[in-house]
Structure 1
Amino acid sequence: MIMDVTIYHNPACGTSRNTLALIRAAGIEPKVVEYLKTPPTRDELARMIADAGLAVRQAIREKGTPYAELGLDRPDLTDEQLLDAMLKDPILINRPFVVTPLGTRLARPSEAVLDILPETFKGAFVKEDGEQVLDERGKRIG
């Protein structure tokens, strides 16, 4: 299937790898943006966050990042200040963001991407940790 799909991917992240595999299981080869090497622009990042229905704070990754050291947990920080921090240090951008014509999602858990993909799966899909997401008919479980 031809569909314009972009994933903001971190190959070191299991959730990101599972999301990419789910997209490919739908028969789609997405544009893969390794956002640590090629971060989105400020406008792209702000638009993805808004389109995913998130607040800027919800799009920040805390685990394994300098979030606490930078004091980003301070409630008085504005969205602009949070976006500045994310652009300065892209590891703070939670992942993976996926953009398709059907919508934008922060695919955490990875199966959240199913909400914005066509139902073109041909069979079962099992995540790296062994959790089955799609049955043998390619239908979502749960």
Structure 2
Amino acid sequence: MKAICYHNPRCGKSRLTLQLLQGHGIDVEVIEYLKTPPTDEVLDKLLLMLDMQPRELMRKNEQPYKDLSLSNIELDRNALIK
């Protein structure tokens, strides 16, 4: 089975993760998520696999989170994924 790595080449942790996987001989499909963002459906599936809610993946201290009012409790799961 091939592992999928949603990768940001500018991120040190992402580069380290990719090196670790490749260093262990794991076949990796690399998806640069900033160039090829995952669809809403893919994000939903990933969240289900991780047993996480959308806000758990969000950077709450960054400006886009604040600008988009993503802390609004009225926003449901689907709205947050979009």
Query: TM-score normalised by the shorter chain: which range applies?
Result: 0.7 to 0.9
| TM-score, normalization by structure 1 | 0.53
* Shift in Å, 1:52: 0.9
* Shift in Å, 1:26: 1.1
| TM-score, normalization by structure 2 | 0.86
> 1:52 maps to which residue?
50
Q: In structure 1, list runs of 5 or more residues that go unmatched.
A: 85-142
Shift in alpha-carbon separation, 1:15–1:62, aligned structure 2, 3 A: farther
Shift in alpha-carbon separation, 1:9–1:65, aligned structure 2, 3 A: farther
> 1:14 maps to which residue?
12
Shift in alpha-carbon separation, 1:29–1:65, aligned structure 2, 3 A: farther
- Share of identical aligned residues, percent? 39
* Shift in Å, 1:57: 1.3
* Shift in Å, 1:62: 3.3
> 1:119 maps to which residue?
none
* Shift in Å, 1:64: 4.6
Which structure has greater helix proportion?
2
Moved over 4 A (4+): none
Computing the radius of gyration over CA atoms, which structure comes out larger, 1 or 2?
1
> 2:41 maps to which residue?
43
Q: CA RMSD in A?
A: 1.6
Residues matched between the structures, number: 82
* SS of residue in 2 equivalent to 1:66: helix
Letter in 2 for 1:4: K
Find the partner of 2:28 among 27, 30, 39: 30
Shift in alpha-carbon separation, 1:31–1:16, aligned structure 2, 3 A: same
- CA separation in 1, counterparts of 2:70 and 2:22? 35
